[in-house]
A = this chain, B = another copy of it.
Amino acid sequence: MVGISNIINRTTSLINSRIGRQSLLQKVVKAEELESLLNIFQNGQYMGWSGFAGTSYPKVIPTLLADHVEKNNLQGKLQFNLFVGASAGIETEDRWAKLNMIDRRYPHQSGKNIRSGINSDRIRFADEHLSIFANDLLYGFYTLKKEKGNKRKMDIVVIEATEITEDGGIVPGASVGITPELLEMADKVIIEINTSLPSFKGIHDLVAHDPPPYTKPYQITRVDDRIGKKAFYCDPEKIIAIVESQLPDMTSDNSPEDEVSTAIANHIVQFFDYEISQGRLPKNLLPLQSGIGSVANAVIGGLSHGPFDHLTVWTEVIQDTFLDFFDNGKLQYASATSLRFSQGGFNRLFNNWDSYKNKFMLRNQSISNSAELIRRLGVIAMNTPVEFDIYGHINSTCVDGTKMLNGLGGSGEFLRNSYISIVHAPSVRPSRNDPLGISSVVPFCSHVDHSEHDIDIIVTEQGLADLRGLSPKERALEIISKCAHPIYKPILMEYFIKSHEQCLKTHSSHEPHQLSKAFKLHENLLEKGTMRIDKW
């Protein structure tokens, strides 16, 4: 494991050039003094970090603490309740999980060890809609269980920034997330200034939360409208330390486009074309949202080769393929809460900083994911689920109903409130002993995050199901015939027909099911390693 003494460039004095407010210079803690900070950390504290989707999370302090726990065998003895807008980096939250340093974690996460901790009772995790989470956090709903200290406060908040301005404004980096809420709730704040990055000054639009009653509307009607400030402002008394970092965000590469994601993108392009021809979408579409992950990234890549231009984006996370989209001139502007690029993507960004920096804006996740704005702007939402059922319910989080992947993220906010909600997935995925072992289409979702009422369009490489205006039984026929893999079509159709026959007998055939068989594909997968059942 990397030692704390190696992770800061001791010779640099770059940090001073990034702190405009002179009175804060005295709070700079040098690398060799960092260990003096350890005494403020105590078991059971509520801690917030900046970061979203693995960028702009703090690295120096989390690593200092992890080293401390490792060196002194404090695993399970120095634990924190950890709040980050979405996921942080592998070398921080996932290392913390491995060292049993996390008690509670909200509202999203990523990493093998943290996932294992959640699914093995070591970490108490709950996922939540990301915009609502930001609000609820500030209302005090997540600190109700706090055993000591002020229930409205986060004990310690650690954020990464790229500059502190002369007027005391804290300029974040590649993500915003819940940092505004964390700073407002913070008892103590530590700022890591990452001098290996350019200052991101000017690309953020940061809004202070305005709780009910008499909350004002967000006066945004276009993706590039500004309503906030370019920096965070927090009481300087709260800032107990400023440290320098030169550590990069540990993002990984996305999978490249493949046959499946290309086929999905082509179905979506064809659908958009038809909607334009019918007058239900303008020629430059409406602002696009795209979920996190390789399929979503590849679909955006596919769309960037499509016939549409003058496009705009209103989303959570800007990924690598958006750079192609900017480069080919088809994407005009993108608003998000996080830039989540691969290392190569960040290099591309920084090498062409001046040409990109006026093309996007980063906002609070309470704004990027706000129901109010997603609906008003008429966003076209595209997200990849774990599975979906024959009536259009969606599982985005729990494999086989019980095992947490990463969490809900913004999927619910975008799918529910969008102009058109699209979910896309490969029709099948490999299981441990069958390359076609897992059907994305199932009789009944083993966990429901989004209901049939939230979904307009389902796409797999097999085809596109348009569910708008359909009753449940019509939806089942549309989904099975258009989206299911040929191997699973007869299996699903038999379930549907038999369920229908049976429910009709008891005058309960609005949405036919046989509850005793609803999860049979999942049970077969758990027992025999494949959803391909021999008989119903």
Interface mask (A134-146 → B, CB under 8 Å = 1, otherwise 0): 0110011111110
- Determine whether A489 belongs to the interface, using a CB cutoff of 8 Å to chain B: no
CB–CB B214/A217 < 8 A: no
Within 8 A of B (CB), among A392-444: 393, 398-404, 408, 412, 416-417, 419, 444
A291 to chain B, nearest CB (A): 16
Do A448 and B446 have beta carbons less than 8 Å apart?
A: no
Q: Is the CB of B139 within 8 A of A508?
A: no
For the complex, what is the distance from the CA of A137 to the CA of B119, rounded to whole Å?
Answer: 42
- C-alpha spacing A270/B247, complex, angstroms: 51
> Is there contact, CB below 8 Å, between A141 and B214?
no
Known A-B contacts A453-B128, A515-B446; the reply to A217 vs B212 at CB < 8 A is no
Complex: how many Å from CA A216 to CA B18?
A: 39
Task: Produce 1/0 per residue, A354-376, CB < 8 A to B.
Answer: 00000000000000001110011
> Could you tell me the distance between the alpha carbons of A286 and B212 in the complex, rounded to whole angstroms?
8
Which of B141, B145, B372, B408 is the one whose CB lies under 8 Å from A375? B372
Residues of B contacting A456 with CB < 8 Å? 141
Whether the pair B215, A511 counts as a contact (CB closer than 8 A) is no
Give the shortest distance, in Å, between A527 (CB) and chain B (any CB). 10
Bound-state CA distance A140–B408 (Å) is: 30
Let me know if A510 and B119 touch, CB within 8 A.
yes
Cβ–Cβ contact B453 & A451, under 8 A: no
- A466's nearest neighbour on chain B, judged by CB, is B144
**Which one of A106, A473, A509 has the highest number of Cβ atoms from chain B below 10 Å of its Cβ?**
A509
User: Are B507 and A116 within 8 A (Cβ)?
Assistant: yes
**Cα distance A214–B220 in the bound complex, in angstroms:** 9
Residue of B nearest to A285 (CB): B213
- A152: chain B residues at CB < 8 Å are 279
In angstroms, Cα B506 to Cα A526, docked, is 10
Instruction: Please give, as numbers and ranges, the residues of chain B lying within 8 Å of A370 by CB-CB distance.
Output: 375
| A507 to B453 alpha-carbon distance, docked (Å) | 32
Within 8 A of B (CB), among A228-264: none
A463 at interface by CB-CB < 8 Å: no
Contact status A212-B507, CB under 8 Å: no
Knowing A129-B453, A144-B466, A412-B451, the reply to whether A120 touches B509 (Cβ < 8 A) is: yes
Partner of A508, one of B280, B402, B511: B402
Residue of B nearest to A372 (CB): B372
A522 on interface, CB distance cutoff 8 Å = yes
User: Per-residue 0/1 for A464-501: is the Cβ within 8 Å of any B Cβ (1 yes, 0 no)?
Assistant: 00101111111000000000000000000000000100
Contacts of A453 in B (CB 8 A): 127-129, 132, 408, 412, 449
Complex Cα gap A370–B217 (Å): 13
Contact present for B213 and A282 (CB under 8 Å):
yes
Q: Secondary structure at chain A's binding surface: helix, strand, loop or mixed?
A: loop
Are A141 and B523 within 8 A (Cβ)?
no
Check: A503 CB closer than 8 A to any chain B CB: yes
Determine whether the beta carbon of A503 is less than 8 Å from that of B217.
no
B508 in contact with A399 (CB, 8 Å): yes
CA distance in complex: A218, B139 (Å): 24
Within the complex, which residue of B212, B287, B419 is in contact with A376, where a contact is CB–CB below 8 Å? Answer: B212
Closest Cβ–Cβ distance, residue A329 to chain B (whole Å): 20
Q: Which of B104, B213, B402, B468 touches A142 (beta carbons < 8 Å)?
A: B468
Asked if A417 and B371 sit within 8 Å, CB to CB, the answer is yes
Q: Find out whether the CB atom of A217 lies under 8 angstroms from the CB atom of B215.
A: no
Q: Which residue of B lies closest to A146 (CB)?
A: B469
Bound-complex Cα distance A222 to B212 (A): 10
CB pair B119–A507 under 8 Å, yes or no, is yes
Near B by CB (< 8 A), chain A positions 94-151 give 104, 106, 116, 118-121, 124-129, 132, 135-136, 139-145, 151
A17 interfacial by beta-carbon distance below 8 Å: no
Q: Would you call A221 an interface residue if the criterion is a C-beta within 8 Å of the partner chain's C-beta atoms?
A: yes
Task: Check if A471 sits within 8 Å of B215, measured CB to CB.
Answer: no
From B218, B286, B515, B519, give the contact of A217 (CB < 8 A).
Answer: B218
* Contact call B504/A120, Cβ cutoff below 8 A: yes
The answer to whether the Cβ of A74 comes within 8 Å of any Cβ in the partner chain is: no
Q: Is A378 within 8 A of B121, CB to CB?
A: no
Known contacts A218-B217, A375-B371; A136 and B468 CB within 8 A of each other? yes
**A213 vs B377: C-alpha distance when bound (angstroms):** 6
Q: Chain B residues near A145: list those with CB within 8 A.
A: 469-470
Report which of B124, B214, B412, B468 forms a contact with A144, defined as CB distance below 8 A.
B468
Interface string of A502-536 (1 = CB under 8 A from B): 01100111111101101100110010000000000
Known A504-B121, A519-B516: A510·B404 in contact at CB below 8 Å: yes
* Chain A 178-223 interface residues, beta-carbon cutoff 8 Å to B: 211-222
- CB < 8 Å: which of B106, B132, B515, B523 contacts A519? B515
Q: A144-B468, A412-B451 are in contact. List 13 more A-B contacts (CB 8 A).
A: A104-B471, A106-B469, A120-B509, A125-B510, A212-B377, A370-B375, A371-B375, A371-B417, A372-B372, A398-B510, A402-B499, A402-B510, A408-B453
- A-B pairs, top 6 by smallest CB distance, nearest first, are A212-B378, A403-B508, A448-B448, A404-B510, A217-B217, A372-B372
